[in-house]
Amino acid sequence: MALPRMINGMLRTKAIYSVSSRSVVSHEPWKPGPYPKTEEERLAAAKKYGLLPEEYAPHPDDGLGFGDYPKLPDIGQDSKSEYYPWDCPEHNRNFGEIMHVHADMWGSDKGDPNYRQKARYPDWQRVLSFFVAVFGISGLMITGDYWCKRYSPFMPKQWPQDNVKYYTYSDKYF
Condensed to tens digits (0 to 9), the pLDDT of residues 41-72 reads: 999 999 988 899 999 999 888 877 788 899 98
Which neighbouring-strand residues pair with 58? 70
Give me the pLDDT at residue 156, please.
Answer: 79
Condensed to tens digits (0 to 9), the pLDDT of residues 83-93 reads: 999 999 988 88
pLDDT lower than 50: segments of the chain: 15
Residue 74 region by backbone torsions, left for phi larger than 0, else alpha for psi between -120 and 50, else beta: beta
Structural contact between residues 91 and 100, judged by C-beta atoms closer than 8 angstroms: no
